[in-house]
Structure 1
Amino acid sequence: MTTEVGRPHHHVTFAVLTAGIVTYSLLQSLVTPVLPTIQSELHTGRSTVTWVLTAYLLSASIFTPIMGRAGDLIGKKRVFVAALIALSLGALLAALATDVTVLIIARAIQGIGGGVLPLAFGIVRDEFPREKVSGAVGAIASLTAAGGAAGIVLAGPIVGALGYPWLFWLPMILTAASAVAAHFLLPESPGRSPGRIGLLPAVLMSGWLVALLVAVGRAPDRGWGSGEVIVLLVVAVGVALAWIRVEKRSARPLIDMAMMRQPAVWTNNLIALLVGVAMYALFAFVPVFVQTPTSAGYGFGASVTQSGLMVLPQPITMFLAGMITGGLSRRIGERAVVMLGLLVSLASVALLTFARSEEWELYLATTIMGAGFGFAFSAMSSLIVGAVPPAQTGVASGMNANIRTVGGSIGTALMAGVVTADLRPDGLPEEAGYTNGFGMLGVTLVMAAFAVLLVPRSRGVSVAECRPPGTATTAMANQAE
């Protein structure tokens, strides 16, 4: 199926992108529920094993916008394939690792693959008919979130049946196959953005992200008022200000600050930050709540596998919601779909806050939660892609994903602090900690809903108008009109 000689049909392109995105999103979360197993197998401490997550998070936060910018400069297909190769090599090294240091390095290599998401958005915008872009972006965004949630569900059965190295062997096989398919089947980008990636802006951006995320990661254990955390936060703010100043003065910046100030961009980034706070904290702490022994007076004493089954509705409804977001957005607008998603998500948080003593209540809450975040996540991604010219799609969506990740780090740290603020003699949190924590996430979603009201009603730059002339997609878009 092709649209021009040698140029694949957009359905083929979508299938290849989907394969890469799903495996990337699985690698994000597969290790989260089984950190205690990895800690035991590699004979390391709790503080050390958490770097298996932190190293990936730091690397992805740094490389996601850089890889997006690189795709705009040298070609989205080339960089997409490179990102999948990095994921494969990192997964291979992790599967073979017999030492926690090697595993941490492997996870940092995997973080380079965070660029697949903005690159996929850019390829969709380049190659799809205009009327198909919103739906495809929404579907890919929902697959990313649903894949991350599915990783939490699948981790227990994989480890129980095959052992924890298969958390990396299976994704490695899939990412390697996806890289080969992408190399042979994806079309190369029809246009390029002028410029280069400056070393100083990249170093400064990496510096403030590392300082911020390390501070947020250590705050639950050390306390937000500890000297170490305060120093790291001050360094993060100082380096971030220096980075912004350098970017403003650069003729060809890594991140265009004028673009970041556009109302459609900064409002969506604000929503992404707040949604990240709530969504990732819920993904992390709902399974923990379910696994709490019943002797605590709450929880269900579930195993890792059982807790995965209890949250299984979440990735299913998230995927389904993302698949219908495109059509819904065409009828009521993407801004309205984001608002709908946030309100539905808020309903799930209300259930978790006030009604979580029965299993059916948890199933209902996770079902609603998946649908809500599926709508919000997908429509938000479409909004940011439609808000900028095609030459800035990669870097804009990369920064949006990055900001959402930073929000997730902050949300997880805040939730950990609230939940563990008052511990029982047996070391388990009091149930009130979960009530307060879920309530805090509900307030975050209310703030995100108010932020949606600030998003301009305009759909921004027309995808068809900005696409370089002469491409297969332009012809298809013109025919559709």
Structure 2
Amino acid sequence: MTSSVGVTNERTLSAAIIVIALLGAVIGGVGAPLITSAALELDVPLEAAQWTLTLTLSSGAVTAPVLGRLGAGPYRRQTVLIALGLVTLGGLLTALPATLTVLLIGRGLQGLGLGVTPLLMAVARDNLESDRAERTISTVSVASTVGIGVAYPLMGLLDEAAGLRIAYGLGFLLSLTATLIAWRTVPASDFRRCVPIDLTGAALLGIGVLGLLIAVAQPAVWEPVWLGGAILGIAAAAFAAWTVVERRTPSPLVDLRLFLDSNVLRSNAAMLASGIAMYLLFSLLTRYVQTPADSGYGFGLSGLAAGAALIPFSALGFVAGRITPRLSKSTSPRTTFTVHSVVIVSAMIVFALAAESLTAVLAAMSLLGFGVGGISAIMPRLVLTGVPKSETSSVLAINQIVRSTGFSIGSAVAGLLLAFATHGSGVFPPQSAYSASALWALPLVVLSVAIIAIPRRPVR
């Protein structure tokens, strides 16, 4: 621990970090439930309104490594406050009755909140004793799961009762609250060496991540097919150039020796495979419960009711996040990851075999929430094994990008599988398509467990 703080101050700081992370997760979940309402109010196509979510994910992924590198030096507190301040400004812009352009600028600024999470974990690792730090980091990591269950029904209710801008206005108030809490509680960093920012590397990584997210999260770019292929090609070229730049610059955005020659690479690979599987199932479940009953299956839940169905998902995710540190101590982090992966497979099996029952589908949703929460909680422990404290925020920022990319790919794969299974000009695929699509999660989960099971070497 690099800071000497009292037990009472540690408790206060731990609680503050968790609250800020949870508020940020709710803000991040504002976009998805409001896409349709934004399209209707602004009179724009649904594909255009989809950018209110895609742009948030993209801006978070692009800026996370830069924020992580800034957080590795003496300006961590300033970085957290400025980032949250910009998120608050973005929330204000989304609440204004303005054009789609203003709304997208606001949503882009709100995406900076995704890059604050690794900084909060770094603050916990540096300023809390080891057990409290591990519990705090686990809870922060699982906050995104809890935030989904809070944001979806809450935003759906506000949208129906008071309108789109009031729902966005709540995001502004939450981000303002998070900024004030951070201003009062986040301590200054003890690291005194200024860390130069590799702007070239940041630009190349940003282009690569942005291209990849657009290709997987915006199906419209594949019409025509050559456009989607061109975007993927540009992303691949940017990643290749970024690798060359990072290996040659004296102060890289990401230390590739640490990233490639350590357990970090395996943990990120497992996170990608697991993230695709988890969000594939999540997308299938949320879409299934909203399918009208006159299609021959489904339960026809409204957006608000479907959001309420996510409450057990978040509640069990939070429970998993709290018990995971103790489970990892009594067994091992790798065993804990495997246990939660088995829970995800159980959710897949329940959904595939008993989708006719709403109770069974909600049980599958709950099991999935427990598994997602557990894997989110144990992943920082896995990825940070042997990593120097000075690199905490940078390594976690990359892991955050990997997780967001996995979630985006999983959502896109779910939509693609169901689209292929829809016959002719039909609106809904057959019920069997959901069960068959869910089974695609199994090899991904097995792959992630196999990657984690590889014997680990000390970080050099």
Q: TM-score, normalised by structure 1?
A: 0.90
1:253 corresponds to which residue?
252
SS at match of 2:164: coil
Q: What's the counterpart of residue 396 of structure 1?
A: 395
Matched with 1:57 is: 57
Change (3 A) 1:256 1:165: same
Which residue of structure 2 aligns with residue 445 of structure 1? 445
| Distance in 2 of aligned mates of 1:5 and 1:422 | 58
Please tell me whether the aligned partners of residues 297 and 431 of structure 2 are also in contact (alpha carbons under 8 angstroms): yes
Residue 279 (structure 1) shift: 2.4
Name 2:327's counterpart in structure 1: 328
Amino acid at match of 1:116: V
1:221: how far off? 6.8
Cα pair 1:58 1:111 within 8 Å, conserved: yes
Q: 1:158 is matched with which residue?
A: 158
Question: How far 1:4 sits from its partner (Å)?
Answer: 5.9
Match of 1:206 in 2: 206
The 3 A distance-change label for structure 1 pair 102 and 433 is farther
C-alpha distance in structure 2 between counterparts of 1:86 and 1:46, whole Å: 27
Aligned: 1:303 with 2:302: yes
Matched residue, 1:288: 287
What residue number does 1:467 align with? none
Distance 2:366 2:381 in 1: 23
Is contact 1:24-1:87 (8 Å) kept?
A: no
- CA drift of 1:198 comes to 1.8
Report the Cα distance in structure 2 between the residues aligned to 1:285 and 1:104, rounded to whole angstroms.
Answer: 27
Give 1:217 deviation, angstroms: 2.5
Post-superposition shift, 1:167?
2.6
Give the whole-Å Cα distance in 1 for the aligned partners of 2:333 and 2:75.
28
Q: Deviations over 1:337-360 (max 9, x none)?
A: 111111111110121222211111
C-alpha spacing 1:15/1:427, structure 2 compared with 1 (3 Å): same
**How far apart are the structure 2 equivalents of 1:173 and 1:102?**
18
Question: Are the structure 2 counterparts of residues 457 and 366 from structure 1 closer, same or farther at C-alpha, using a change threshold of 3 Å?
Answer: farther
The residue aligned with 1:41 is 41
AA in 2 matched with 1:350: I
Counterparts of residues 215-294 of structure 1 (less than 5 Å): 215-219=215-219, 222=222, 226-294=225-293
1:64-108, Cα deviation, whole Å (9 max, x unpaired): 121111111233222111221121111110011432121111111
Report the AA paired with residue 101 of structure 1: T
> Which residue of 1 is the match for residue 138 of structure 2?
138
Q: Which amino acid aligns with 1:445?
A: V
How does 1:110-149 map onto structure 2 within 5 Å? 110-149=110-149
The answer as to whether partners of 2:215 and 2:221 remain within 8 angstroms in 1 is no
Match of 1:92 in 2: 92
Secondary structure of 2:421's counterpart equals: coil
Correspondence for 1:436? 436
Residues 188 and 198 of structure 1: CA distance in aligned 2, closer, same or farther (over 3 Å)? same
Q: Give how far 1:249 is off.
A: 0.3
- Give the total of aligned pairs: 457
Sort the Cα spacing of 1:149 and 1:64 in 2 relative to 1 into closer, same or farther, 3 A: farther
Moved more, 319-328 or 73-82: 73-82
In the TM superposition, residue 419 of structure 1 has moved relative to its aligned partner by 0.9
Partner of 1:477: none
Letter in 1 for 2:274: V
How far the C-alpha of 1:40 sits from its partner, in A, is 0.5
Partner residue, 1:472: none
The answer to whether the 8 Å contact 2:222/2:229 transfers is no
TM-score by length of 2: 0.94
CA positional deviation for 1:219: 3.9
Q: Is the 8 A contact 1:265 1:387 kept in 2?
A: no
Whole-Å Cα distance in 2 between the matches of residues 387 and 118 of structure 1?
17
| Matched residue type, 1:321 | A
Unpaired stretches in structure 1, ≥5 consecutive residues = 462-481
CA distance in 1, matches of 2:130, 2:258: 22
What amino acid does structure 2 have at the position aligned with 1:70? Answer: L
- Cα 1:97–1:196 change in 2 (3 A) is farther
Code of the aligned partner of 2:271: A
The 1:268–1:15 alpha-carbon spacing in structure 2 relative to 1, beyond 3 Å, is same
State how 1:440-479 maps to structure 2 within 5 Å. Answer: 440-454=440-454, 456=456
Displacement of 1:429 in angstroms is 2.4
What amino acid is the match of 2:229?
A: I
| Structure 2 Cα separation of the partners of residues 207 and 130 of structure 1 | 37
- What do residues 239-292 of structure 1 show as CA deviations (whole Å, max 9, x unaligned)? 111100000001110111001113310011011111221223333332221110
Aligned residue for 1:468?
Answer: none
Question: What CA distance in whole angstroms lies between the structure 2 residues aligned with 1:58 and 1:295?
Answer: 37
In structure 2, distance between residues paired with 1:16 and 1:450: 36
Query: 2-side partners of 1:11 and 1:57: how far apart?
Result: 31
Deviations 1:387-423 (A, max 9, x none): 3101100010000010111111111111111011132
Query: Which position in structure 1 is the counterpart of 2:422?
Result: 423
CA–CA separation in structure 2 for the residues paired with 1:103 and 1:455: 48
Match of 1:348 in 2: 347
Distance 1:398 1:180, change over 3 A: same
Is the 8 Å Cα contact of residues 263 and 455 (structure 1) preserved in structure 2? no
Q: Quick check: 1:58–1:213 contact (8 Å CA) kept in 2?
A: yes
For the 8 Å contact 1:220–1:413, the answer to whether it is kept is: no
- Structure 1, residues 414-436: CA drift from partner, whole Å, max 9, x if none? 11110111325442222233223
Question: Quick one: distance in 2 between partners of 1:260 and 1:387?
Answer: 12
Judged with a 3 Å threshold, the aligned counterparts in structure 2 of structure 1 residues 260 and 192 are, in CA distance, closer, same or farther, namely farther
CA distance in 2, matches of 1:163, 1:332: 49
1:103 corresponds to: 103
Instruction: Quote the Cα distance in structure 2 between the aligned partners of 1:117 and 1:326.
Output: 19
CA distance in structure 1 between the partners assigned to 2:139 and 2:455 by the alignment:
21
What is the rounded CA distance, in whole Å, between the counterparts of 1:192 and 1:385 in structure 2?
Answer: 22
Distance 2:258 2:457 in 1: 17
Q: In 2, distance between residues paired with 1:177 and 1:212?
A: 33
TM-fit CA distance, 1:182 = 1.4
**Counterpart residue type for residue 61 of structure 2:** S
1:75 is aligned to 75
Which whole-Å CA distance do the structure 2 matches of 1:262 and 1:148 have between them?
Answer: 34
Rounded Cα–Cα distance in structure 2 between residues aligned with 1:155 and 1:417: 27
CA distance, structure 2, for counterparts of residue 177 and residue 285 of structure 1: 34
SS at match of 1:165: helix
CA distance in 2, matches of 1:19, 1:290: 31
Structure 2: how far apart are the matches of 1:41 and 1:372?
A: 37
Contact 2:152 2:304 (8 Å CA) reproduced = no
Q: Does 1:185 align with 2:177?
A: no
> Aligned-pair distance for 1:6?
9.6
